[in-house]
Every structure is written in C-alpha cells, then in structure tokens.
C-alpha cells in the first residue's frame, strides 16, 4: 500500500515532501469545495493574481474537466471545524484556507506566498496556502494526482491520504513568447497561459513589438517593407494610434484586460515588453525622424523627441497592465553609444516607477559606459541570455543586480527552424537532466554555463530571481501556425516547470526532484488531461467519438454541411472523393472544401489557410473539374501531406505531396519547412462550392 502511494505521488513539478498514510481520499461525484470565509476575498499582493474564491471557482471547473463529473456542487464558503473521522462528514470535501509556515521558503531562504501545506484524510483534503496563489498551486497538485489515479485504472480517482508541503525553489518561473514577429490571437494566448499554469509556471512574458530582420532590406532603401509588429491597440483618439502597423494584428485594452484576468485566475501574471531603443523599426516607420540614419531599427537617443515619444507610448499602455513589472527590452543597442543607452534605461526606470508604480526589466546585452562613469541602476532586473563581453551573470550579481536566467544554450527555442541547428525543436530534456554542468549534473536556474563552473552560482543566491524560457519567431507568420508553436512548447513548459520549481538532484535543488524517467512516464498523461484548454484539439467521449472514426459520410446532399467538430488535432487522416464543377473551379480561390477553427482547405491548389494570420499554403495540385478525385490528407505535429487516387496501404510507391513554407533566413538563404495543420473539420463545402463530395471521413491517426 505505502509503496503504491509513493509511486502515485510523482507529478510535474514534483512536490517538496509527502508522508503517506494507509488509505485514500475518493474523488467522487458528490465532492464539495469549501472556501474559508475568513480568506475568501484575499488576494496575493502585488502580483495581479486572483482571490481565493476566484481560484476555487476555477478549480471546480477544472475538476469537472478532469473527472467528467458535471454535477459537482458550486463552491461554498464555510468553516470546516469537524472531526473528520466522525459521521458528520458525509461526502469528500476539499477545504481551501490560508496560513503561514516558516518551512515554506525559496531556496534563497526568503518566504514565498506560493507555498502550501496539505493534509489528506479519507473525507477531507485541506489545502492551506501561505497566500491564495499557494492554495491555487495546491489545487494543481490535487488535480494531477486525480489524473494519475484515473490513468492507473481507478474510477473514481483515489488520492493517497497523508500530509505534505510544497513550495517553489525560485520566485520567477516563466516563459516568453515572441508576439512581435508573429501575430497571435488572444484565445490562443489564453489557452497557452492556462496550459502553462497546470505545471506551476507563474509568468507569461509577452514580447509585443519587433520586426523581421533582413539586412538587405534593413540597410537599404526598402527598410519600410520589412514586417513589423506592435500589438497594443491604442484608442482611436490617442496620439500614438498610428504606431500600430495593422489594427487587425493588435489587441484592444478590453481584450488584453480579459487575457490578464483569465491568466491571473490561473496563477499566471503577464509581463509585457515593448522593446526600445533597438529592435524599434516599428517606431521608425511611424516617426522616421527618431531613427539613427542608416540603421532604422535603432532609435537616436540624442534626438530631442525620442525620449518623450517613447514615454508617450508607455503613458498610453501602462494603465493596461496589472503586473508590477514590465520589460522595456533594451536589447542589442550599439555598444559605441553605451552612455546614451545607460542614461535612457535609467531614465525609463525612474519614469515608469513614478508614472505607473512598476519596476522594469531589460535584456542583458551589456552596452558598457563609453566613459566608464555610468552604470545601469541596480533597481533594474537584468534578464541574462548570452555572454557578451562583461555581461556575466555572477559578476552582475556580485555588483548587486537581480538576475533572471534565460540563457540561450539551455532555454531558447525558435519557431519551426533554427539557423545552423543552434536551438532544438523542443527543450532538450537530456541536457536539462544531465550534462548541464561541468560535472554532469542537471540544469537549474542557477546554471548559466555547461562548461565553465565559475559562470554559475549557488541555488540560494539571493539575487537570482528565477528563470524564463524563450520562444522566438524569427521567421514570422508563415513559419508556424499557432498550434505548431504549442507543439514545440508543450513538453518544454512541463520540463521547465519541474526544473524551476524543484531544480535538479546533486546539489542543484531537491534530492526528490523528478528523474528524467519519472518525467517521461507521467508527462503524456498530464499533457492529455491538462484542464481549461484544448490545444491538442483532442476529442472527448462527449463528442460522440467511437473508436478512431470522428465522422464518416458516404454522401452529402447539401452544402455547406456542418459536422459539429470545430477542429481535430493531429495525428489524423482526412479522406474524401471530390468532383468539383467547372463553376467551382473558376472561383477556386474562395471555394473551400473544408473549414475549421484552426484551418481552411481551399479547392484552389488544395491550399491550406491559417485563419489567425491569413497566411496561405498552397499544395500546388489543381483538381480537375467534373472528374472524381480521391484525396487522403495525413497530418502529424511535424507535417501534413496528401496522396491521390489510392491508399498508402495499397501502393507503397504512391506519390506524397507535402504542404510546406519557404522561410527567409536572415536574408541569406531560403529554407523549406513542413507545415502541420489541425483538421478543418467543422464545415464541409462552402463559399460557393458546387459539385460532389462523397466518402468523406475523418479518422484519428495518420
């Protein structure tokens, strides 16, 4: 019994300690959730996060998702002062409350509101957070234990009784998404935030302005043609309204507020970034007089109107943000202008603190003072990502700077393709669990170098705030669909959640931190069950799924035909036989064979479209009019291809046609990459489709 209990305790991230007893708490359909009325409206200070009641309501929704029990009672407020061994407790109860504990500290010894204690008896599961956010993380532990119990064959779920405590090792455990070079709609960002929360990630850093780098354009006459993004849409009467290149690729204040609220109710705060004075081509397009002549991505900090203009941008958007920190980027400015840069950064720090009551972060690219008389204020957090001359994290901490570890060797991803294979497709778990230090230990936020131990620090360094992994979109909208970004992030976020919560064994964290084998064993189960979102676009029994067939229609008499399945994620096989009329062929650019939430498949050249970016990906195959053609579309998370007039099982020599995209890599060469699309499964035959579509089926598996 005890051995089984210990096995089912493995989860992501691992918990600090758990002492099992010899029974179980049953998660049945009459379970109730009770919030301590003394703390129901309490919130975690300074973090923009929800109240204990907010977290309890979200927990109830998630519990319904995980268990399938749709009739779980509404959250109640009440005291639970009962003897849990008596008959007075009739149903399983989860009680959320608050209480301090001297044991729940970060590795640097500082107290953390994210810690929680839990006590489990046969009828009572008590979660006692230091702050509401701590209780929230305790509900993630509860849900993961329920998921693993169900996966192991228990129905209803059974959670081992016992006592435990848990808290993160580091304050900041975040991920950055480059939304400046790639447009993302808010529903996707919301789902991504919710997914990350399941693994106790607590920050979502949104890089919200940037441009696509191509030196042949940037330093020539056509620099205005380069793609730029600024994602915060000011009010129509704002003096900075014209800054936004494309209004349909920007978020309104109300939309962004909704995103922040949803994320905060899942324990995640959004840290926005507007990158200046470099990476500022979007501002130079708007006001060319502000740029340095010949380098339009760099702003001229000595020009009188540059600083007031940047401040006016922040004046507009600072009131939007609930986080007590923002990033001003300050990345990769000219080192020959170090004094101007340092003066600018310090000025912006003072201004944002005075105007918005917020502190700032900058990327650590080390633009040293040209006169050696100036330095960045130590009130500013530096986000380390590489080792340019003098920008060594341990030296910066020795000078009093707070550091966030985003070192590119361990923590960088790039959308779909990395030039020269510099970055992996997903975070390298072998590297995270071993070979991250000169003596072969696993990675933790205190590790900046795998080869030089003098560049690393101790886990208890008080100036090491934590870590943020980064996902860049250097190649723009046509490199990835939003779901492809998720495919790269899904396992990465889970692994990163473990490493930033518990660290690694061997002196880099807790000795009960997960092994790689333990992580690999539970990750697929937890990924599939992560509540509150469906980025896998998976089908559940509620969708009427029987075996592997999503739908199958021998004949469809009228178009458009609605299936009821909005989107189906890979792997899948979409089969159909189509005879388009000549009138459909003449309007093939707009005629759609299939439409879904995440993709559209047009008749013309069998073109897929990503509805969020409106980028089209033609296959280059035109189907003949008034003739039946059989088509099979196969998709995995790595590719989508089609075959015609046959089945792969019938003919191993059948020609396959892959949907691809051409990426411009720094203006130096073109790279052809495969595309993955979710099935456009919601509507069949629309936008004037005329002809016949027969033997239409969608099956899981490629």
**Res 197 pLDDT > 50:** yes
The pTM of this model reads 0.96
Range of the domain at 552: 541-700
Q: What are the C-alpha distances in Å from 231 to residues 181, 238, 245, 578, 643?
A: 10, 15, 9, 41, 39
pLDDT at 4 over 70: no
Both structure tokens of 18: 């758990």
Q: Which residues contact 669 (CB under 8 A, 6 or more apart)?
A: none
Residue 5 has pLDDT above 50, yes or no: no
Q: Of 110, 145, 166, which residue is a domain's last?
A: 166
pLDDT tens digit string along 588-606? 678 999 999 999 999 999 9
pLDDT tens digits, one per residue of 227-284:
999 999 999 999 999 999 999 999 999 999 999 999 999 999 999 999 999 999 999 9
Domain count of the chain? 3
3-state SS string over 278-314? CCCHHHHHHCHHHEECCEEEEECCCCCCHHHHHHHHH
Q: Rounded to an integer, what distance in angstroms lies between the CA atom of residue 263 and that of residue 297? A: 32
Pair (404, 518) in one structural domain? yes
pLDDT > 90: what percent of the chain?
A: 85
Distance CA(565)–CA(596), nearest Å, equals: 8
Residue 151: φ, ψ to 5°: -65, -30
Share of the chain above pLDDT 70, in %: 94
H-helix or E-strand spanning residue 353:
helix 338-356
Residue 195 confidence class, pLDDT cut points 50, 70, 90 = very high
Mean pLDDT of the chain: 93
Strand partners for 503: 509
Give tens-digit pLDDT for 399-409. 999 999 999 99
Res. 3: pLDDT tops 70: no
Instruction: Give how far Cα 7 sits from Cα of 10, 522, 547, Å.
Output: 6, 11, 31
- 178 or 441, greater pLDDT: 178
In a shared domain, residues 212 and 79: no
Quick check: is 274 in a domain?
yes
Chain segment 615-658, per-residue pLDDT in tens: 999 999 999 999 999 999 999 999 999 999 875 555 557 899 99
Catalytic residue among 332, 648, 671, 690: 332
pLDDT at 7: 45
Q: Give the tens place of pLDDT for each residue, 146-161.
A: 999 999 999 899 999 9
Residues 160 and 232 in one domain: no
In a domain, 226, yes or no: yes
The pLDDT of residue 257 is 98
| DSSP-assigned beta bridge partners for residue 553 | 696
Residue 139's nearest CA partner among 125, 149, 150 is: 125
pLDDT of 27 above 90: yes
Nearest alpha carbon to residue 346 among 323, 379, 373, 304? 379
Residues 633 and 546 in one domain: yes
| Same-domain pairing of 94 and 229 | no
Q: Which long-range contacts (CB under 8 A, 24 or more apart) does 451-460 make?
A: 454/394, 455/387, 455/392, 455/393, 455/394, 456/394, 457/393, 457/394, 457/397, 459/107, 459/108, 459/169, 459/503, 459/507, 459/508, 459/509, 460/107, 460/108, 460/109
Answer yes or no: are the C-beta atoms of 120 and 25 closer than 8 Å: yes
HSE (side-chain half, CA atoms, 13 Å) at 117: 13
Residue 369 confidence (pLDDT): 82
Whether 545 and 642 map to the same domain: the answer is yes
Please enumerate in sequence order all residues whose Cβ is within 8 A of that of 128, keeping only pairs 6 or more positions apart, or say none: 97, 98, 99, 101, 116, 117, 118, 119, 135, 138
Is the residue at 609 inside a domain? yes
pLDDT of residue 648: 53
- In the annotation, is 289 catalytic? no
Which of 222, 170, 123, 162 lies closest to 13, judged by CA? 170
pLDDT in tens, 34-53: 999 999 999 886 556 789 99
CATH number at residue 626: 2.60.120
Would you state the pLDDT for residue 663?
Answer: 98
Last residue within a domain, chosen from 112, 146, 166: 166
Q: Are residues 156 and 256 in the same domain?
A: no
Backbone angles phi, psi at 506, to 5 degrees: 80, 35
Q: What mean pLDDT do residues 574-601 have?
A: 89
Sign of CA dihedral 673, 613, 318, 199: negative
- Tell me, yes or no, whether 22 and 149 share the same domain: yes
Flag whether pLDDT at 285 surpasses 90. yes
Angular region, 95: left φ>0, alpha ψ -120 to 50, beta rest = beta
| CATH number of the domain residue 443 falls in | 3.20.20.80
Dig out the tokens for 410 from the structure.
């361990």
If asked whether residues 392 and 435 sit together in one domain, one would say yes
- Give domain status of residue 85, yes or no: yes
Three-class SS state of 673: strand
Task: Give the pLDDT confidence score for residue 370 in this predicted structure.
Answer: 80
Residue partners of 31: CB distance under 8 A and separation at least 6: 63, 69, 72, 73, 91, 92, 93, 94
What is the pLDDT confidence band of residue 86, given thresholds at 50, 70 and 90? very low
Q: Assess whether 244 and 383 both reside in one domain.
A: yes
Q: For 663-681, write each residue's pLDDT tens digit.
A: 999 999 999 999 999 999 9
206: tokens are 């949104």
Residues 189 and 104 in one domain: no
Residue 339 and residue 382 in one domain: yes
CA separation for the pair 634, 631 (Å, rounded) = 10
Instruction: Give the residue-averaged pLDDT of 508-524.
Output: 96
What is the SS3 assignment for 177-217? EECCCCCCCHHHHHHHHHHHHCCCCCEEEEECEEECCCHHH
Average pLDDT of the segment spanning 450-470: 96
| Other beta carbons less than 10 A from residue 512's beta carbon | 16
**Residues near 130 by Cβ (< 8 Å), separated by ≥ 6?**
98, 99, 100, 101, 104, 111, 112, 113, 114, 115, 116, 167
- Report the pLDDT value the prediction gives residue 1, as an integer from 0 to 100: 27
Residue 627's Cβ-count burial label (10 Å; 0-12, 13-18, 19+) is exposed
pLDDT tens profile 204-226: 999 999 999 999 999 999 999 99
pLDDT at 366: 75
Asked if residue 536 belongs to a domain, the reply is: no
The answer to whether position 442 is within a domain reads yes
Domain edge (last residue) among 125, 146, 166: 166
Residue at 534 is within a domain: no
CATH assignment at residue 68: 3.30.379.10
For residue 551, name the pLDDT band (cuts at 50, 70, 90).
very high
- The single residue listed with the structure tokens 């609220």 is 261
* pLDDT for the residue numbered 688: 87
Distance CA 330, CA 308 (A): 16
Residue in this structure with the two tokens 């447009």, named with its chain if needed: 183
Residue 535 is assigned to a structural domain of this protein: no
């Amino acid at each position: 019994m005890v051995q089984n209990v210990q096995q089912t305790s493995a989860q992501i991230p691992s918990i600090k300690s758990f002492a099992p007893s010899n029974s179980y708490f049953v998660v049945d359909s009459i379970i109730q959730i009770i919030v301590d009325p003394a703390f129901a409206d309490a919130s975690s200070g300074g973090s923009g996060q929800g109240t204990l009641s907010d977290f309890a309501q979200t927990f109830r929704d998630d519990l319904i998702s995980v268990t399938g029990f749709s009739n779980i009672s509404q959250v109640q407020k009440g005291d639970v002062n009962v003897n849990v061994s008596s008959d007075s407790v009739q149903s399983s109860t989860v009680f959320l409350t608050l209480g301090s504990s001297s044991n729940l500290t970060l590795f640097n010894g500082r107290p953390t509101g994210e810690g929680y204690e839990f006590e489990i008896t046969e009828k009572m599961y008590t979660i006692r957070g230091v702050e509401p956010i701590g209780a929230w993380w305790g509900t993630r532990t509860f849900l993961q234990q329920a998921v693993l119990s169900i996966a192991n064959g228990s129905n209803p779920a059974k959670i081992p009784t016992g006592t435990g405590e848990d808290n993160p090792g580091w304050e900041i455990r975040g991920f950055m998404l480059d939304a400046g070079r790639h447009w993302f709609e808010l529903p996707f960002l919301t789902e991504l935030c919710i997914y990350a929360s399941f693994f106790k990630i607590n920050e979502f850093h949104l890089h919200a302005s940037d441009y696509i780098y191509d030196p042949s354009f940037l330093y020539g006459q056509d620099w205005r043609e380069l793609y730029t993004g600024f994602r915060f849409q000011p009010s129509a009467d704002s003096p900075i309204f014209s800054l936004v290149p494309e209004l349909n690729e920007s978020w309104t204040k109300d939309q962004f507020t909704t995103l922040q609220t949803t994320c905060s109710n899942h324990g995640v705060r959004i840290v926005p970034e507007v990158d200046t004075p470099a990476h500022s081509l979007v501002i130079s397009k708007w006001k060319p007089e502000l740029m340095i002549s010949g380098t339009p991505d760099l702003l001229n900090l000595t020009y009188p109107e540059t600083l007031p203009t940047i401040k006016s941008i922040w004046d507009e958007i600072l009131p939007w943000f609930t986080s007590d920190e923002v990033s001003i980027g300050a990345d990769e400015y000219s080192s020959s202008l170090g004094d101007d840069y340092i003066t600018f950064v310090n000025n912006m720090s003072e201004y944002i603190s005075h105007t918005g009551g917020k502190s700032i972060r900058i990327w650590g690219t080390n633009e040293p003072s040209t006169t050696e008389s100036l330095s960045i204020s130590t009130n500013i957090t530096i986000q380390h990502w590489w080792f340019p001359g003098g920008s060594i994290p341990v030296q910066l901490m020795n000078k009093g700077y707070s550091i966030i570890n985003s070192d590119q060797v361990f923590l960088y991803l790039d959308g779909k393709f990395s030039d020269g294979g510099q970055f992996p497709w997903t975070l390298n778990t072998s590297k995270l669990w071993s070979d991250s230090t000169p003596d072969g230990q696993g990675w933790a936020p205190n590790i900046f170098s795998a080869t030089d131990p003098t560049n690393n620090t101790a886990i208890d360094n008080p100036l090491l705030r934590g870590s943020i992994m980064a996902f860049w979109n250097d190649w723009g909208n046509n490199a990835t669909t939003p779901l492809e970004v998720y495919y790269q992030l899904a396992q990465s976020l889970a692994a990163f959640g473990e490493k930033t919560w518990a660290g690694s064994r061997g002196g880099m964290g807790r000795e009960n931190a997960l092994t790689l084998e333990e992580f690999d064993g539970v990750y697929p189960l937890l990924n599939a069950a992560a509540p509150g979102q469906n980025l896998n676009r998976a089908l559940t029994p509620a969708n009427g799924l029987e075996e592997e067939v999503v739908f199958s229609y021998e004949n469809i008499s009228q178009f458009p035909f609605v299936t009821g399945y909005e989107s189906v994620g890979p792997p899948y096989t979409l089969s159909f036989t189509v005879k388009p009329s000549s009138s459909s062929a003449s309007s093939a650019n707009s005629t759609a064979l299939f439409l879904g939430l995440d993709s559209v498949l047009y008749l013309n050249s069998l073109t897929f479209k990503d509805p969020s970016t409106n980028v089209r990906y033609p296959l280059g195959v035109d189907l003949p009019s008034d003739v039946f053609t059989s088509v099979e579309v196969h998709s995995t998370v790595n590719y989508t291809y089609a075959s015609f007039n046959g089945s792969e099982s019938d003919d191993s020599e059948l020609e396959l046609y892959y949907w691809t995209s051409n990426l411009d890599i720094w203006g130096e060469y073109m790279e052809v990459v495969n595309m993955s699309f979710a099935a456009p499964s919601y509507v069949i035959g629309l936008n004037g489709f005329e002809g016949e579509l027969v033997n239409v089926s969608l099956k899981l598996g490629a």
